[in-house]
């Protein structure tokens, strides 16, 4: 599974990081600094989906294969 991240649209809600801190790191100001594409490790798919849904700005989305 791959997640696409539009980091320019992040306004710092930090909800993604609360759900999945290892997958979605923040900078010192609380903004998502994840790469624009993240390959989700096997087993972390459900966690990643919850983090994607947690963002009110819809900064992240799941890439369809």
Longest CA span, the chain:
33
Q: How far is the CB of 60 from ligand F3S (least distance, A)?
A: 6
- Min. distance of Cβ 30 from ligand F3S in angstroms? 6
For CA atoms 46, 52, 39, 65, the dihedral sign is positive
Strands of the 60-63 sheet, one edge to the other = 37-39, 2-5, 60-63
Interface residue with ligand F3S among 3, 20, 23, 32 (CB under 6 A) is: 32
> How many residues lie near ligand F3S (CB under 6 A)?
14
Contact between 12 and ligand F3S per CB under 6 A: yes
């Amino acid at each position: 599974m791959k997640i696409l991240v539009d980091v320019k649209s992040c306004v710092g809600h930090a909800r993604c990081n609360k759900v999945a801190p290892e997958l979605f790191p923040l900078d010192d100001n609380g903004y998502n600094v994840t790469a624009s594409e993240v390959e989700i490790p096997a087993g972390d798919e459900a966690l990643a989906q919850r983090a994607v849904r947690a963002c009110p700005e819809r900064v992240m989305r799941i890439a369809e294969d």
